[in-house]
Structure 1
Amino acid sequence: MSNPFDDQDGTFLVLVNDEGQHSLWPAFAQRPDGWTVALDESPRDAALAYVEENWTDMRPLSLREASAPRAS
């Protein structure tokens, strides 16, 4: 059995969690708790392009906020 996450011809969702992290997810698979759909069913290439365009800072949101400059 092949890994559905590697299926070049598969249909994927892009999921996002509360930390702003993105994930490609096979469209047929049940979504994990805590993740919402950011991009509906799309070819793998389109889903990857969405992630590359929209997830530009790999740090979790809580870390980005903690390291942001504070106003004085």
Structure 2
Amino acid sequence: MDGSTQPNETRYLVVCNGEEQYSIWPAGRPLPNGWRSAGPYGTKTECLHHIDQVWTDLRPLSARH
């Protein structure tokens, strides 16, 4: 994080489900069933950038086996 976020800017958490599909979720809200924390906490842009780096195969885990 570069410190340039606005004070009221929503913060997000990178989350992942059992099929290794990634998403972002508003920080501070309970995670939906089946999802876990899987990356950084930050701005929407920062979290989406992280997802772009780690989620290179968009097929669900079950389709990769």
Shift of 1:40: 3.8
Q: Normalised by the size of structure 2, how large is the TM-score?
A: 0.79
Distance across 2 between alignment mates of 1:41 and 1:50: 10
Q: What amino acid is the match of 2:18?
A: D
Identity of aligned residues (%): 39
Bigger radius of gyration: 1
Deviations 1:30-53 (A, max 9, x none): 200111101242111110011000
Q: How many angstroms does 1:22 deviate by?
A: 0.3
- What's the TM-score once normalised by structure 1's chain length? 0.72
Which residue in 2 is equivalent to 1:43? Answer: 43
Superposition RMSD on alpha carbons, in Å? 1.1
- Where do 4+ consecutive residues of structure 1 move more than 6 Å? none
Q: Which runs of 5+ in 1 are unaligned?
A: 1-8, 66-72
Higher helix proportion, which one?
Answer: 1
Structure 1 residue aligned with 2:10: 10
